[in-house]
Amino acid sequence: MSKFDEKAGELLKNAALAAGAFEMFDQEKTDRIVEEVYKAGFDARISLAHMACEETGLGVFEHKVIKNVLATQVVYEDIKNEKTAGIISEDEHSGITEIAQPLGPVLAVIPVTNPTSTVMFKILISLKTRNPIIISPSPRAAKCCSEAARICYEAALRADAPEYCVQWIEEPAIDLTQALMAHRGIAMILATGGPGLVKAAYSSGTPALGVGPGNVPVFIDESADIPYAVRTIILSKTFDNGTICASEQAIVVEQKIADRVRSEFKKQKCYFLNPDETAKVEKVAVDPKTGLMSPSVVGQPVEVIASLAGISVPPETKIIIAEQEGVGAAYPLSGEVLAPILAFYVREDLKSAIKTCIELNYLGGLGHTASIYANNDERVNEFAAIMSAGRIVVNTPSAQGAVGGIFNDLHPSFTLGCGTWGKNITTENITAHHLLNIKRICRRRDNLKWSAFPTEKYFDESLSADDLLMEFHKNY
């Protein structure tokens, strides 16, 4: 047995003790723990944001504070009244009673892009459902994740939570994470991270809730309020320097409004690269060997990206924009880049514009999110019907809109399901109700429609399926 298997076994032994104790907790005691943890996480929102920025070198401090608020206060408000212990529903008519039961130990894999916020979010939804949790952070965010977990754990213990209800790995290793994923004691994996990690979670043999990449296309329709659309896109794409996977990746417009959209982006301090500059940015933004975004630009401000690329951009530039002709490997910036970089497409008509959005979606964002700016409901519905995305955000900053809880009533979440399109199990924003086993007491209720039908007719070979159906409906 390797040292990683031994460590995994130790963590799971402790988690099993916590799981057994949690089984005995009622709703009131559970909710008291969750409230205490939320308050502690919220109170640490600023110090944890500082730690995350200093350790990872990614993003914007003020925006990480907001992420921590979303992961604590907004998530708490969303789940606090949800029934997650004991009887959660009773239907006298159907005779069905639903009883919530915890899953068991949860393994939470944490990305470098949203470290402390994702830790607190996953701890809250796990404790709300009486599931002990083990935090496995990115090695690049181990310290801030450990601190976030410690703060939550100590708060939980103050509210009489079971010992070991929250555990964390202070020195992350891929081998240890893989050993935990495959351990029979893990009930569920909450996997937030790159495609390789999520694939490993789903391949482990343990039930998993994961996400896929974003690569969010944004269609600006001719009916849109263009200054508003541009302002909102900038608000979203610059949030934490674009580290949210639901942030916009490419703008698609029809030829008839292209000049107006370009002009508005320039007016609002965005910079359009020339072909030579685009080539230089491509080299630093995308790894030519893998075709994936380069870690060196993820979460970095425009000035850092420009310096890496050896180009000059005007002072106070918010986003750099690269005009693109096509989608795919020959156009590196057509893929997902979690930084203030946007691709820009101009298409002859509506049909070709929508086709480009679909191509972007299929390139690396299936099931995730698509965005549209339009003041024409028919156009919105047409776009939504054809896009393979779990979230279609309308006239809304995509990063904050897809995460939920701010600009809409989606469940606030740091794990956004992408459905079977993205090889995930659900398209929903993952939250507490996904971490429950629901038992159903089914009391006898005779089906009167079935009872009234003379079932011997099923043995009458002269009656066709249509004849039997007509006979069946005659009885009610």
> 370, 416 in Cβ contact below 8 A?
no
242-301 residue pLDDT tens? 999 999 999 999 999 999 999 999 999 999 999 999 999 999 999 988 889 999 999 999
Q: In whole angstroms, give the CA distance from residue 141 to residue 194.
A: 15
Note the pLDDT of residue 194. Answer: 77
- Is residue 245 part of the annotated active site? The answer reads yes
Note the pLDDT of residue 195. Answer: 78
Q: In whole angstroms, give the CA distance from residue 333 to residue 318.
A: 17
CATH topology of domain 216-409: Aldehyde Dehydrogenase; Chain A, domain 2 (3.40.309)
430-473 residue pLDDT tens? 999 999 999 999 998 876 666 777 778 888 888 898 888 887 77
Note the pLDDT of residue 475. Answer: 65
Note the pLDDT of residue 348. Answer: 96
Q: Which residues contact 186 (CB under 8 A, 6 or more apart)?
A: 12, 104, 105, 106, 107, 134, 180, 206
Note the pLDDT of residue 280. Answer: 97
Q: How high does pLDDT run on average in the chain?
A: 95
Question: 213 pLDDT exceeds 80?
Answer: yes
Q: In whole angstroms, give the CA distance from residue 29 to residue 35.
A: 10
412-432 residue pLDDT tens? 999 999 999 988 899 999 999
Q: Indicate the domain borders of the chain.
A: 3-211+430-437, 216-409
Note the pLDDT of residue 476. Answer: 58
Mean pLDDT of 218-232: 98
CATH annotation of 3-211+430-437: 3.40.605.10
113-123 residue pLDDT tens? 999 999 999 99
Q: What angle do CA 294, 296, 297 make, to 5 degrees?
A: 80
Please identify which of the residues 53, 152, 245, 270 carries the catalytic annotation: 245
Note the pLDDT of residue 449. Answer: 66
With left for phi above 0 and alpha for psi between -120 and 50, is residue 201 left, alpha or beta? alpha
Note the pLDDT of residue 473. Answer: 78
35-61 residue pLDDT tens? 999 999 999 999 999 999 999 999 999
Question: 374 pLDDT exceeds 90?
Answer: yes
Mean pLDDT of 322-351: 96
96-102 and 436-442 strand pairing: antiparallel
